[in-house]
């Protein structure tokens, strides 16, 4: 199994996205993707176990602990506000 460290090209692309948009925006984007996957799987495949797994991923990504950690980054607060997002709730 390939690890994240083995894929330097992907890591560079992710770092570029973090630099451009901020980690809070990327994390919230991942939350949105996980929610959409859950909805798609539930609606199209009626696989409640897999849909629930994607919802748990979404919940973990938007946890209060993560929100508080992101809120400690001044640049993230600015970026979140510029995108109309509220961190740390």
pLDDT given at position 40: 98
Q: What is the pLDDT of residue 49?
A: 98
Residue spans of the chain under pLDDT 50? 89
Q: If you write DSSP's letter for every residue of the chain in order, what string do you get?
A: ---GGG-HHHHHHHHHHHHHH-HHHHHHHHHHHHHHHHHHHHHHH--HHHHHHHHHHHHHHT-HHHHHHHHT-HHHHHHHHHTT-----
Residue 89: predicted pLDDT: 46
pLDDT at 65: 81
What is the pTM (predicted TM-score) of this model? 0.74
For the chain, the domains span 22-82
Q: What is the pLDDT of residue 2?
A: 73
């Amino acid at each position: 199994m390939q690890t994240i460290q083995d894929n330097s090209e992907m890591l560079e692309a992710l770092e570029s996205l973090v630099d451009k948009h901020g980690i809070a925006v990327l994390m919230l984007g991942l939350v949105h993707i996980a929610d959409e996957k859950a909805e798609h799987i539930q609606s199209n495949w009626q696989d409640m176990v897999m849909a629930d797994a994607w919802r748990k991923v979404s919940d973990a990504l938007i946890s209060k602990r993560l929100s508080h950690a992101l809120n400690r980054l001044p640049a993230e607060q600015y970026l979140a506000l510029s995108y109309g997002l509220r961190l740390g709730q």
